Structure 1
């Protein structure tokens, strides 16, 4: 499912227009990005949480030449699935 299909599904489920569904989804995404960028986390009970992390600097290898390269430290974004999400994914089919 891509963003357009998600917007269509939200609009159908909530009986709102696609334009309003798109504005709502864009707003949610924007607020998650702003909050995680500030270093805070976003927790959606039953779904999961978004947070930021750090990746240390390290030495890697160029796969085509085998030459060692330095990989700089970086901030990362983490998503941890909530219990309800994990249970839904791992649900046994009967």
Structure 2
């Protein structure tokens, strides 16, 4: 049974299997966003919730840019398009 079907947490969009799990950005704080993905967060928060299901090892790469939010979204979408992550969608949350 798929994770999304067996859990009540709000999950990221599932794509194809990939060595890259997720590409994302934060304009409100990377520490909070990483905590949501890796440590704990409300069930209604769209995140990977890795703490709830993933038992393997992973590596987190953080890139920092000093650009407007619209440019950050373009950078994120470009990286996601190249890396083809297993989870997540392209475009901002208002799409």
Q: Which has the higher strand share?
A: 1
TM category, shorter: under 0.3
Structure possessing the higher radius of gyration over alpha carbons: 1
TM-score by structure 2 length? 0.23
* Higher RCO (CA 8 Å, separation ≥ 6 residues): 2
Q: Which has the higher helix share?
A: 1
